[in-house]
């Protein structure tokens, strides 16, 4: 049988687990939008940002399957794991959430998953 201290510890552990699961569910339902800021040249590396606009250029990087986009003169990098099953063309309208990263001296937005990008194809 469990002693008093062990029962209290077990109850605390269960309470923490329930709180973490509830927080995960709430944050998943809310999404990234409340936490993202519009991208600017002053955005810091590691900051969650949002970019919206027309695709000016879409390039499939052959060695790796990554996708590089140019949106509102902003570089958007989509790694192969997130680019799978995405079809993006010049002129498409996108809304994307990503993390700011400096690559070769230039800021870009790195998309982490396919759920972080919405594409509206222009016919």
- Contact between residue 47 and residue 37 where contact means Cβ atoms under 8 Å apart: yes
Give the domain 33-120 fold: OB fold (Dihydrolipoamide Acetyltransferase, E2P) (2.40.50)
Write the pLDDT tens digit of every residue in 93-120: 999 999 999 999 999 999 998 889 998 8
- Contact between residue 42 and residue 81 where contact means Cβ atoms under 8 Å apart: no
The span from the CA of 74 to the CA of 95, in Å, is: 13
Band of pLDDT at residue 48, cut at 50, 70 and 90: very high
**Residue 57 or residue 83, greater confidence:** 57
Structure confidence at residue 115 (pLDDT): 87
The span from the CA of 108 to the CA of 69, in Å, is: 10
Structure confidence at residue 60 (pLDDT): 87
Write the pLDDT tens digit of every residue in 7-24: 999 999 999 999 999 999
Band of pLDDT at residue 123, cut at 50, 70 and 90: low
- Contact between residue 69 and residue 81 where contact means Cβ atoms under 8 Å apart: no
- Residue-averaged pLDDT of the chain: 90
Structure tokens at 69: 């986009």
- The secondary structure of 8-76, three-state, reads HHHHHHHHHHHHHHHHHHHHHHHCCHHHCEECCCCCCCCCEEEEEEEEEEEEEECCCCEEEEEECCEEE
Instruction: Name the residue among 70, 31, 33, 65 with its Cα closest to residue 49.
Output: 33
Band of pLDDT at residue 28, cut at 50, 70 and 90: confident
């Amino acid at each position: 049988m469990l002693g008093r201290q062990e029962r209290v510890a077990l109850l605390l552990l269960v309470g923490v687990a329930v709180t973490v699961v509830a927080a995960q569910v709430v944050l998943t339902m809310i999404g990234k939008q409340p936490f993202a800021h519009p991208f600017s040249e002053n955005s810091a590396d590691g900051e969650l940002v949002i970019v919206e606009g027309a695709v000016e250029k879409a390039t499939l990087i052959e060695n790796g399957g990554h996708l590089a986009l140019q949106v509102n003169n902003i570089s958007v990098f989509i790694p192969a794991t997130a680019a799978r099953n995405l079809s993006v063309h010049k002129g498409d309208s996108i809304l994307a959430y990503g993390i700011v990263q400096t690559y070769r001296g230039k800021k870009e937005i790195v998309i982490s998953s396919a759920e972080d990008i919405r594409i509206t194809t222009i016919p």
